[in-house]
Amino acid sequence: MWNRETGRWTEAHAHSKLRGMNLPDFLPSASAVMLQGLVLSLGLIIAIGAQNAFVLRQGLRREHVGSVVLWCAVADALLIAAGVMGMAAALGERPGLARALAFAGAAFLAFYGWQALRRARRPQAMQAAADSGAKRIGRGAALAQAAAFTLLNPHVYLDTVLLMGSIGAQQPAAMRGWFIAGASSGSVLWFTALGYGARWMAPWFARPAAWRVLDGLIGVTMLVLAGMMVRLGLGSPLP
């Protein structure tokens, strides 16, 4: 049952409801939660940034691509899981905080969407030269750089841990794993495409028009998700 006072599903009801579901009834709910995590992850990760430029550059150089892609994807998955589980524990006995974070998340998503739409009006390009004449670096050095681009970026803690964690923590306990799986899948898909498809994608990313379309789609998606978070904060269950 949706508890309008706390703005969350009661855990006992969530578990009993899931136990009473047949597999065909359960899959649509799990798929919807997984899709939400996937869309949110892709919306936040696809941007012009140092980490993406580094992965693209390694792909162009064909240098330790698998190791770099694996590190970025696994690091994202661990941060997402830590965010969801940590926020779930923090919000368990604090329904007021859960509601506040829902509104804060909605505000951030709306701002993020507005920024994406603004970028779509004045698109830039992401350049990542292959540097074919540059000295090759070892796998350890490549992973150290990937770790720095990932863990020393303050946005990773705001986007991946706090924002995605607070949204994932709003899900019933039995559904949080599906949210984490969907969000992690977004990272795997994006970094794999960026690293292994670098030589095909680099010319596309170098065209501002491509970023206009991409940022426009991201902006609309983030605004839709912001509306869903407002609905959640007001105490209405998501469909």
pLDDT tens, residue by residue, 38-61: 988 888 887 766 678 788 878 877
Ranges of beta strands (E only) in 102-209 are none
Count of CA atoms in the C-beta half-sphere (13 A) of 70: 7
What's the pLDDT band for 11 if we cut at 50, 70, 90?
Answer: very low
Nearest partner of 79 among 180, 196, 222, judged by Cα: 180
The per-residue pLDDT for range 104-158, each reduced to its tens digit, is 777 877 887 888 788 788 766 555 555 545 567 788 988 998 888 788 776 677 7
Q: Is 196 a domain residue?
A: yes
**203 found inside a domain:** yes
- In a domain, residue 107? The reply is no
Structural domain contains residue 40: yes
Q: Has residue 152 been placed in a domain?
A: yes
Quick check: is 119 in a domain? no
Domain assignment present for 47: yes
Contacts of 48 (CB under 8 A, 6+ apart): 124, 126, 211
pTM attached to this predicted model: 0.64
Distance CA 127, CA 111 (A): 26
Query: Is residue 14 within 8 Å of 172, Cβ to Cβ?
Result: yes
Looking at the domain assignment, is residue 221 inside a domain? no
Question: Is the pLDDT score of 196 beyond 80?
Answer: yes
pLDDT given for residue 238 in this prediction: 47
Q: Which of 27-41, 82-96, 145-159 has the highest mean predicted lDDT (pLDDT)?
A: 27-41
Q: How many domains is the chain built from?
A: 1
The range of the structural domain enclosing residue 201 comes to 27-97+137-207
Which pLDDT value is given to residue 183?
Answer: 94
